[in-house]
Structure 1
């Protein structure tokens, strides 16, 4: 079927933050959509869903496999997410029984799809989209504006109290930080909280952020990514939004992950300069080419007629 608006996958990458630990990120795509899911590190006392390394990896995989099959250019994404979340809730509660809300698995979602009317972005949580249009302008889209700055502030408090990431071997070994994280996690996907993510709360689908992404100049390159890769812009300030996309276009996504790992593990392994809860985070990204075929055809016709 001929489509006016097309989405092409140019490159993908997913890389665990630490060797030997499960990668809790996932990505997926089909002929009209692409997405990235970032599982939130579990805060419970044990794992309930076997076979994936963690409950966070399970929920990300559960969503990714079903979104690839069900998401198209016309269906309401909220309806798709609500149904998948209902299925995930049933599976988790059957296996885990009654658990505190902070132990419920969840993940962020960033997604882009081509519809008959153009490109539509939607998401939940703190994964994001960078767009570099053919006219040189750029966009940055995230369901929770200010999420990265807020997390950096919380991590800075944590680092100041404990003296560095290496000294504490991860945020969950500190009872004060763990209690704060559990309190915040329990408020997610509730009317009393401010954060909506994908997980086992179907009504979170009613709170997805969505917007149109009009192309400027007839086309664009874009990166869908988890917050791991976004740290190159938001935390380390190694790139601005258009610079990140250009680097991916010129050198490939692996070059960005290599640079990120150097910053995390060599430049600032303790998080003293760039505060964060983990030395290295799982990192996933999809590089896309977005095209308006009508605009491209018009541009070609103008060149031929000149």
Structure 2
């Protein structure tokens, strides 16, 4: 079995900010990594566009090396997070930094395990079979719930007369409380400066026989690309990721106050990989 990449893209939400997403292709393991916008009072990594950008790039570098050595995906992610923590410690002691200010990310991945396709998810990234969009690979996560709570709070602030920018700042205490609970009981899972995320990972396995029967087109995507699916800019008959993103950005511009299509930010980094598992 092989994973054939049919299309891919990763674009920043703004030309004024770095793209904190990344696509990692390591042999027959493909990941979409979605870095979380920082909510700390300061940054800690000098000379970088953002702490999150640094974290995602550093994590990806270590992960590639660990996968190349033959480690399975989840242990490789744990090892990469520890190595990234060590690198962070050369800039600031992690225990001296509030946990909500730790750089972090979530991901979705596809890999081949024991002759089958294994799909992984941590956080609010996703996977969808464009041939069978009704199929659900993963259950909602705690991060999905927290994001909806934040969206509702943002809408309430704006209804009270605050501008979107001011409303977002007034949300910061809520966002920091949520971020403080990364990898904790009652919180949500994230790749960060510890390894407590493993128990939050969701996994779906699709057998070789089912793949041969259904011939899926699996889309791995960050939550910034999710709107393209919600607006049905992609389908079994139209799998052009660039065209879908162009339409999504136009929709976001036309809804600058985030009211018609509720969300925290007008534009988010958006990444997606379309793959076809090929059976032999």
| Coarse TM-score class (shorter-chain normalised) | 0.7 to 0.9
* RMSD of Structure 2 on Structure 1 (CA): 2.6
Cα pair 2:32 2:271 within 8 Å, conserved: yes
Q: Which runs of 5+ in 2 are unaligned?
A: none
1:155 maps to: 151
Q: Deviation of residue 148 (structure 1)?
A: 4.1
Contact 2:62/2:83 (<8 A) preserved: no
- Is the 8 Å Cα contact of residues 73 and 116 (structure 1) preserved in structure 2? no
Aligned residues: 275
Residue 38 of structure 2: aligned partner: 42
Q: 1:212 aligns with which of 205, 221, 224?
A: 205
Q: 1:277 aligns with which of 258, 264, 278?
A: 264
Q: C-alpha separation between the residues in 2 aligned to 1:170 and 1:18?
A: 19
Q: How does 1:180-259 map to 2 (within 5 A)?
A: 180-191=174-185, 193-214=186-207, 215-216=210-211, 217=213, 219-233=215-229, 237-239=230-232, 244-246=234-236, 249=239, 252-259=240-247
Contact 1:39 1:107 in 2 (8 A): yes
1:122–1:208 CA contact under 8 A, matched in 2:
yes
Q: Deviations over 1:181-226 (max 9, x none)?
A: 10111011123x3311111111323432222123342521111110
The one-character-per-residue Cα deviations of 1:207-263 (angstroms, maximum 9, x if unpaired) are 322221233425211111100111233xxx312xxx7352653xx211111111011
Paired with 2:248 and 2:265, the residues of 1 have a C-alpha distance of 13
| Aligned pairs for 1:53-202 within 5 A | 53-71=49-67, 75-97=71-93, 98-133=96-131, 136=132, 139-142=135-138, 144-145=140-141, 147-148=143-144, 151-163=147-159, 167-169=163-165, 172-174=168-170, 177-191=171-185, 193-202=186-195
From the superposition, tell whether residues 85 and 170 of structure 1 become closer, same or farther in structure 2 (CA, over 3 Å).
farther
Matches of 1:124 and 1:148, distance apart in 2: 11
CA displacement at 1:117 relative to structure 2: 2.2
Among residues 6, 9, 23, which one is paired with 2:5 in the alignment? Answer: 9
Highest Rg: 1 or 2?
1
Q: For structure 1, list consecutive stretches of 5 or more residues without a partner in the other structure.
A: 294-306
User: What is the TM-score when the length of structure 1 is the normalising length?
Assistant: 0.81
